[in-house]
Structure 1
């Protein structure tokens, strides 16, 4: 049976690489389709890696020696002018993607499921482009940016995440990024999910919250 909401719905999954976001996207979409007859739109919404740009800002962080001690984020140097220009260009392209791939479908009443979103962009700006968290939040805080109906943060220690997916950042860098996610989670009301749990438990927690929110939209 097909049961449609009166308006669109935005679901986002955030977290460091290796937490299982992509797998959870599949669970969410399958659940909405099988139980509610609701198709959904999948959006890969990673800053610096989208249909408008294949530039990978993370390469800068990956090339840093793993043995070098991380700089505290409150003491990191001011980004150079070329880096600021580069970051600004990527941010413009990223916002254009959000308009086309997220905002417009929501206005048409579609369900959109994002693998990464502006919360991940805040972390990318702070970690990879040496932007302060406050500045990154301001850049990603425009009122026109759609706010998720359900927003998850899949949390996992860096070492475990690296063991699951070792083709990204080092375990130490993943732990740096994890700390940034945890620092912004309360202010952005991210629903914490312990990704150390068995897959089925994580899936039940996430799909249960999504179904509850979807049903609430129907009731309204």
Structure 2
């Protein structure tokens, strides 16, 4: 439609915290990120540390493109990182609320929901592509993440769309939501 846009996945990819993670491992000799939940101190402070990384991600992937006039479509935005922290046993509600206050609320938000079995069938590389605990299988991971996303959606009043429907109907609903929001913002 000729609308200047940019798609981004705002996944947490440690940059600033990477040296800190290396330092923690060197000092303790045992704590890798998947083990941080075992440390009382790391459970308390890790969310605050991660906020700095996410603010950098937000700045480069979202804020700068917005400043140059693009519309930014964020895949999972900050909610992906919060769901990961829940899965890792590192979620801190107070820190997450601070993060949500530091970054702007999206103009339009919705979550696509599918049962974990459907998700696993659609994407069969879950076990290999994400940081799954050794004790979990792909279905366990997907169940925990789905529950986290639904909790996030409920707490933030984010509409949840059933994504098990036929693609054409789902596409039409999303297209109409986006178009309606875009036109209402530019009137």
Q: TM-score range by the shorter chain?
A: 0.7 to 0.9
Find the counterpart in structure 2 of residue 161 from structure 1: 119
Of 92, 97, 102, the match for 1:138:
97
Of 174, 179, 186, the match for 1:211:
179
Find the counterpart in structure 2 of residue 117 from structure 1: 77
How many correspondences in the alignment?
Answer: 163
- Whether contact under 8 Å (2:116, 2:142) holds in the other structure is yes
* CA-CA distance at 1:78 after TM superposition: 6.8
Of 29, 34, 40, the match for 1:60:
34
Of 127, 132, 149, the match for 2:107:
149
Instruction: Give distance in 2, aligned partners of 1:42 and 1:159.
Output: 27
- Whether contact under 8 Å (1:103, 1:146) holds in the other structure is no
Partner-residue secondary structure (3-state), 1:38: coil
Pair 1:87–1:174, CA change in 2 (3 A): same
TM-score, scaled to structure 1: 0.63
Find the counterpart in structure 1 of residue 12 from structure 2: 47
Instruction: Give distance in 1, aligned partners of 2:54 and 2:90.
Output: 18
- Whether contact under 8 Å (1:87, 1:129) holds in the other structure is no
Find the counterpart in structure 2 of residue 192 from structure 1: 160
Find the counterpart in structure 2 of residue 25 from structure 1: none
Instruction: Give distance in 2, aligned partners of 1:109 and 1:146.
Output: 16
Of 144, 152, 155, the match for 1:176:
144
- Whether contact under 8 Å (2:5, 2:72) holds in the other structure is yes
Normalized per residue, the structure richer in helix is 2
Instruction: Give distance in 2, aligned partners of 1:124 and 1:140.
Output: 15
- Whether contact under 8 Å (2:111, 2:159) holds in the other structure is yes
Partner-residue secondary structure (3-state), 1:176: helix
- Whether contact under 8 Å (1:46, 1:121) holds in the other structure is yes
- Whether contact under 8 Å (1:47, 1:91) holds in the other structure is no
Unmatched tracts of structure 1, length 5 or more: 1-33, 62-76
Pair 1:200–1:210, CA change in 2 (3 A): same
Pair 1:213–1:79, CA change in 2 (3 A): farther
TM-score, scaled to structure 2: 0.73
Give the alignment's Cα RMSD to 1 decimal.
Answer: 2.9
Instruction: Give distance in 2, aligned partners of 1:176 and 1:217.
Output: 36
